[in-house]
Structure 1
Amino acid sequence: MTSDHGHNRGPGQDHGAVLRVHSSSEPTTLNPLRHEAKNLDTSLISTCVLHALNYVDADGTYRPQLLARPPKAEDGGLTYAYRLRADRSWHDGRPVSAQDVAFTHRLMMDPGSGIPERDGYDLVEGIEIESGTEFRLRLARPYPGFRDLFTSSTGSIMPRHLLEGIDFTSDWDTALRPASGPFRLSEWRRGECVRLRRNPGYPHAGSGIDGIDFVFDHDTDSQVDDVIAGKADAAFPPPTPAIIDRLRASQVNWSFGPGEKWEQLSFQHRHPLLADRALRSAIAWGIDRDALASTLPSPSAEGRSARLDSLVRRPHHPDYRPSFSRYRRDVARARQILRDAGYRHLAGALTAPDGTPVRLRLMVPDTDAALSLRAELIASWLSETGVEVVPTPVVMTEFLRSLRAGDFELAQFSYSGNPDPIGHNTLWTHDPELPDQGRPQGQNYVNYRSPRVAELLGRSMTETDPVARAAHFADADRLMAEDLPSLPLLVHPSFAVWNPLLSGPEPYPYQAGALWNVHQWVLRRHDDAAPEPVRPSGRRR
């Protein structure tokens, strides 16, 4: 492990230092396409190792990564011409090729691959390979979200020459350790750290960084304390007022940015009690979401609230509509809704119309103490309505397993995406044509079923007029505000804390995670002139 701001060299390292970066929890896999990898802890690491055709920068702009240029539209958006960079190769020297892109698409469409996201990829009729670096992608119909295809960590390109014929659900990520990004997996000490070292096949700039050691610590206070003490080089914890106070008195760099990480309270619609909209509505009216939002420091100079009132857009987006704004804490209204629906208080406990006691388990990940505190607040508020809620912290691996299986009653968690909301349509859509296998379809973990919402979100995948497309999202959001598949709570600001000798880190809100630009980071020596410290700027798109 490294210390002293990462300036220790390991054996055989001649170029620079090994950074020490905190991660809130340990990933279960480094295969970024698998269902098990749909979390920021996997993205934080895999983004350094496996690249995609495109990435999203901190301003929300889609930019070429493995591509030499943005794709060119042809045939009215039915075909896109792509050209790969000629200087990108795998760790073994083999060029990243058009054949790798076609192979990755086949993996994504293979039902046995364990990949949950096929929206958009299922519209690809074919990939015509013209050379090692050039190909054309043909679509069945115009797809307005085409920029999200093969973008960020969940769109990482896979090496055909290494993975063809291998079970994609196996441990190839640690056995073969492929890399197209700036670093390659060197060692994974389970329960302790993941070590990455420079990928010799990547065209490195003079960064002074030979590798990264990711250490796992869900205690956000100790993450920040380690950076302040020089025991770590970077951390990206959820900010709290107490953390901000400590940072203001320190010499390390830290900054806020806009947030695309949103927190919600999810209702399991298969649960016999939560299938009742009246109970979901009473819960929504019983929660003080403004008070929840106040537990987060505001990244904006004007102190804008972090409260979230949409399931499809974030507040900084021009098409944001606060469809859920009606739900403001009103205990009397919540209790009246329950009475009107036949709920009764018997022997001091709330019972459903059939006599079932209303006692619900609220599952939360154990990696975020502030989130657990918000869960306790929710339970306290709902007790005044008669609804008994039991917050239950769960280790992250078990939390993700239960979420994917739909094995929960209430779940409170946060997640990120890319600028186009089309990537999260799978959270709210259900295809009645598919057989019911007793588990969620795709990422519809709450088992929400609304043919009208599915229709509107389906139109968002084919509508090319931006005004009409925005209207489809807004209409779907209004319907979900009535149905309450989940209750949006708040938006987390993006946040970063880092070594003052390190330049390059910045708050980053999107799916790839905070090391999206690690190839541009530069670590100065202690005897170099120190740069000006970075402090919050209220940066907004």
Structure 2
Amino acid sequence: MSDLTSRTVHRAAGPDRRSFLRYTGALGAAAAVTTTLSACSSGPESTNATGDGGTGGGATLTAVIGYGNDGSWDPTQTASAFAMAGNEHIYEGLLGADPITREPYAALATGLPADPRATTWAFTLRPGAKWHDGRPVTADDVVFVYDRILDPKTQTLAKGFFASWLKEVRKTGATSVELELKFPFPDGAARLSLAKIMPKHVFSKPGAWDEATRGKAVGSGPYRQTAHHPKSNTTFEAFDDYNGPRKAAFAKMNWLTIVDAAPRVAKISGAGADAEIADNIPYANIGQLKKSGMSVEGGAGMNNLFLLFNTAHRPFDDIRVRQALHYAIDRDKMIEAALKGHGKASTSFLDEANPSYRPARTVYAYDPAKAEKLLREAGVGKLSVRLMAVNVSWIVDCLPTIQEGWEKLGVDVTLDPQETTAVFTKLDQKKDFQVVAAASNPNQFGLDADLIMHYNYGPENLWMGYARWADAAVAKKLFRDMDRATREPEAGRKKAMVQDYIDVVAEQAVLYPVVHNELMTAWDPKKVTGVKAQPYPGINLLQARWT
């Protein structure tokens, strides 16, 4: 699902951008945007504790992922839920980040920045770290990846997470590097987990980035990729020479991609069950799975259904029309009927557990009378809307509630669910559309509000290109306010600035969530332990082990 989720997603020119759209795959869960995170102090415990480091004999762990594995596997480009989850097991950043709390830890580097508020961070690489082909990891590999990310001529998804605050990465020794920041930015430490270090000797070759996009993966992490079959499965095995903090507990893993809900659930339940864990569990199957002895847990965070309006297509250039269509949606009914209670009506762009959350000044409570009034004020009589949507199962379940609310306004509604890649290929090709409904989860990249908001909004942001809104006067002021908040050194003031500009985002409703929902993971506790359900798509088995 999210398979398009990023801070400031820049427009890429030519083939780079087409490749990005083709291979990011599915939006929601982040387009699986993937699925994203709870930051409440009373939320899930940290998963920084490592497993026992055993190999579990020669057994193969089988996992079922509810998103496609045919998105990009290039760590600098991908927002694919499947690929991002797989890459967490294959690659390392200088720092890693706890999958639940996002607390940074030393991964390929030997320690955290000595002073997170300094504008120079020095790192030494872990002694003895090797690539999966046996060659040593060097500082040249680190510089190679960051040069690609920061190169103004190379448009990558990762650029949006770093370019605003990171000036340069330079080699200071054979296994040491230095990061120079543009200004103090403590939040950047957790973001270093997003820059997966890749071997220069492999990916500097002609055509290698295209190979990475198609699934080639060579990392320094605890698991190495052994086979990749798009639309079927990807396999892994423990890397014997790995000497880092997240040792492999499974000798082999086979991750199946099963997007359709029924066969996915069948793989982990009943007499024919042959998988130990599955994500993206439909709400209707929770009770059945628990009765059969499975553990089923959820993670609540930024995973959301959003509406994206084409502001170049009248009357969606009128703020009143966009607001009216939001006020006409009965979110409580959607949560009850489609999400079976596993969701909350969005009262801000951020989910309620985010540390920067407060209710926005504009909250779209169900108000048909207000919606009708706004349409009249906008001079809209008969309105026909084709709602293009991704075919992620829970999104499709939510569409009838949207249709019902809009039809009560007198709007003629046509629902048009399609494969996620088909939806975003059309958007990338600048084909005309009216409204898109899709899923997103920027928490797959992180928790901080600056990252989440810049993933969706910015002058060169991919989403704003889809919406045709970046050149509007109110948008330009918004982007300036966002940049000022990024640079604000005082935490309390920065939080207030973020909340203020989110009020503008809520009022404008160009790209805005309808509901935030919980993502469910199921596993067999008789076979696997140490699993933590993520509030974003995919799974993380770096602290799990055989029971």
Same fold (TM over 0.5): yes
Q: Judging changes above 3 Å, is the alpha-carbon distance between structure 1 residues 332 and 394 closer, same or farther for their aligned structure 2 residues?
A: same
What is the DSSP-based 3-state SS (H/G/I as helix, E as strand, rest coil) of the residue aligned with 1:93?
A: coil
Supply the distance in 2 between the matched residues of 1:200 and 1:268 (Cα, whole angstroms).
51
Q: Judging changes above 3 Å, is the alpha-carbon distance between structure 1 residues 336 and 124 closer, same or farther for their aligned structure 2 residues?
A: closer
Q: Judging changes above 3 Å, is the alpha-carbon distance between structure 1 residues 172 and 452 closer, same or farther for their aligned structure 2 residues?
A: closer
Supply the distance in 2 between the matched residues of 1:514 and 1:64 (Cα, whole angstroms).
23
The within-5 A match list for 1:8-23 is 15-23=57-65
Residue 86 of structure 1 corresponds to which residue in structure 2? 127
Residue 370 of structure 2 corresponds to which residue in structure 1? 333
The aligned amino acid for 1:231 is D
What is the DSSP-based 3-state SS (H/G/I as helix, E as strand, rest coil) of the residue aligned with 1:519?
A: coil
Cα deviation for residue 502 of structure 1 reads: 0.7
Q: Quick check: 1:150–1:157 contact (8 Å CA) kept in 2?
A: no
Report % sequence identity: 21
Residue 142 of structure 1 corresponds to which residue in structure 2? 184
Residue 505 of structure 1 corresponds to which residue in structure 2? 531
Q: Judging changes above 3 Å, is the alpha-carbon distance between structure 1 residues 324 and 195 closer, same or farther for their aligned structure 2 residues?
A: farther
The aligned amino acid for 2:274 is K
1:426 paired with 2:450, answer no
Cα deviation for residue 307 of structure 1 reads: 1.9
Supply the distance in 1 between the matched residues of 2:538 and 2:456 (Cα, whole angstroms).
27
User: What is the CA deviation profile of residues 427-466 of structure 1, one whole-angstrom value per residue up to 9, with x for unaligned ones?
Assistant: 44443xx7xxxxx647754333312211121112211211
Q: Quick check: 2:197–2:219 contact (8 Å CA) kept in 1?
A: no
Cα deviation for residue 411 of structure 1 reads: 1.8
What is the DSSP-based 3-state SS (H/G/I as helix, E as strand, rest coil) of the residue aligned with 2:210?
A: coil
1:364 paired with 2:389, answer yes
Residue 463 of structure 1 corresponds to which residue in structure 2? 488
User: After TM superposition, what 4+ stretches of structure 1 lie above 6 angstroms from structure 2?
Assistant: none
Q: Quick check: 1:427–1:444 contact (8 Å CA) kept in 2?
A: no
Q: Quick check: 1:120–1:145 contact (8 Å CA) kept in 2?
A: no
Residue 310 of structure 1 corresponds to which residue in structure 2? 348
1:128 paired with 2:170, answer yes
Cα deviation for residue 474 of structure 1 reads: 0.6
1:492 paired with 2:533, answer no
TM-score, normalised to structure 1's length? 0.81
* Larger Rg computed on CA atoms: 1
2:404 counterpart (374, 380, 388): 380
Cα deviation for residue 263 of structure 1 reads: 2.3
Q: Judging changes above 3 Å, is the alpha-carbon distance between structure 1 residues 168 and 322 closer, same or farther for their aligned structure 2 residues?
A: farther
Q: Structure 1: 5+ residue runs without aligned partners? A: 1-12, 300-304, 345-349, 351-357, 435-439, 525-541
Moved more, 455-464 or 396-405: 396-405
The within-5 A match list for 1:427-466 is 427-431=455-459, 441=462, 445-449=466-470, 450-466=475-491
What is the DSSP-based 3-state SS (H/G/I as helix, E as strand, rest coil) of the residue aligned with 1:398?
A: helix
The within-5 A match list for 1:123-522 is 123-152=165-194, 155-167=195-207, 169-172=209-212, 177-203=217-243, 209-229=250-270, 230-240=273-283, 242-294=284-336, 295-297=338-340, 306-311=344-349, 313-323=350-360, 326-344=363-381, 350=382, 358-368=383-393, 370-405=394-429, 407=431, 408-416=433-441, 417=443, 418-431=446-459, 441=462, 445-449=466-470, 450-500=475-525, 501-510=527-536, 514-516=538-540, 518-522=541-545
Supply the distance in 2 between the matched residues of 1:270 and 1:238 (Cα, whole angstroms).
37
The aligned amino acid for 1:466 is A
Q: Quick check: 2:73–2:216 contact (8 Å CA) kept in 1?
A: no
Supply the distance in 2 between the matched residues of 1:227 and 1:333 (Cα, whole angstroms).
46
Supply the distance in 1 between the matched residues of 2:105 and 2:538 (Cα, whole angstroms).
16
Cα deviation for residue 507 of structure 1 reads: 0.8
Q: Quick check: 1:363–1:394 contact (8 Å CA) kept in 2?
A: yes
What is the DSSP-based 3-state SS (H/G/I as helix, E as strand, rest coil) of the residue aligned with 2:299?
A: strand
User: What is the CA deviation profile of residues 49-69 of structure 1, one whole-angstrom value per residue up to 9, with x for unaligned ones?
Assistant: 222223332123222222221
Supply the distance in 2 between the matched residues of 1:127 and 1:23 (Cα, whole angstroms).
35
Supply the distance in 2 between the matched residues of 1:490 and 1:364 (Cα, whole angstroms).
15
Cα deviation for residue 325 of structure 1 reads: 5.4
Supply the distance in 2 between the matched residues of 1:261 and 1:134 (Cα, whole angstroms).
37
Moved more, 443-452 or 251-260: 443-452
Count of residues in Structure 1 that have an aligned counterpart in Structure 2 = 478
The aligned amino acid for 2:434 is E
What is the DSSP-based 3-state SS (H/G/I as helix, E as strand, rest coil) of the residue aligned with 1:489?
A: strand
Q: Quick check: 2:307–2:511 contact (8 Å CA) kept in 1?
A: yes
Q: Quick check: 2:203–2:209 contact (8 Å CA) kept in 1?
A: no
Q: Quick check: 1:227–1:233 contact (8 Å CA) kept in 2?
A: yes
Cα deviation for residue 227 of structure 1 reads: 1.1
Q: Quick check: 1:159–1:178 contact (8 Å CA) kept in 2?
A: yes
TM-score, normalised to structure 2's length? 0.80
Q: Judging changes above 3 Å, is the alpha-carbon distance between structure 1 residues 119 and 427 closer, same or farther for their aligned structure 2 residues?
A: closer
What is the DSSP-based 3-state SS (H/G/I as helix, E as strand, rest coil) of the residue aligned with 1:461?
A: helix
Q: Judging changes above 3 Å, is the alpha-carbon distance between structure 1 residues 14 and 23 closer, same or farther for their aligned structure 2 residues?
A: closer
Q: Judging changes above 3 Å, is the alpha-carbon distance between structure 1 residues 374 and 307 closer, same or farther for their aligned structure 2 residues?
A: same
Q: Structure 2: 5+ residue runs without aligned partners? A: 1-54
Moved more, 378-387 or 56-65: 56-65
The aligned amino acid for 2:142 is V
Q: Judging changes above 3 Å, is the alpha-carbon distance between structure 1 residues 264 and 227 closer, same or farther for their aligned structure 2 residues?
A: same
Supply the distance in 2 between the matched residues of 1:81 and 1:246 (Cα, whole angstroms).
51
Supply the distance in 2 between the matched residues of 1:165 and 1:206 (Cα, whole angstroms).
30
The aligned amino acid for 2:518 is P
Q: Judging changes above 3 Å, is the alpha-carbon distance between structure 1 residues 182 and 428 closer, same or farther for their aligned structure 2 residues?
A: closer
Q: Quick check: 1:144–1:462 contact (8 Å CA) kept in 2?
A: no
The alignment's C-alpha RMSD in Å is: 2.7
Supply the distance in 1 between the matched residues of 2:421 and 2:408 (Cα, whole angstroms).
33
Cα deviation for residue 102 of structure 1 reads: 1.1
What is the DSSP-based 3-state SS (H/G/I as helix, E as strand, rest coil) of the residue aligned with 1:70?
A: coil
What is the DSSP-based 3-state SS (H/G/I as helix, E as strand, rest coil) of the residue aligned with 1:506?
A: coil
User: What is the CA deviation profile of residues 465-506 of structure 1, one whole-angstrom value per residue up to 9, with x for unaligned ones?
Assistant: 111110111111111122111232222224210122111221
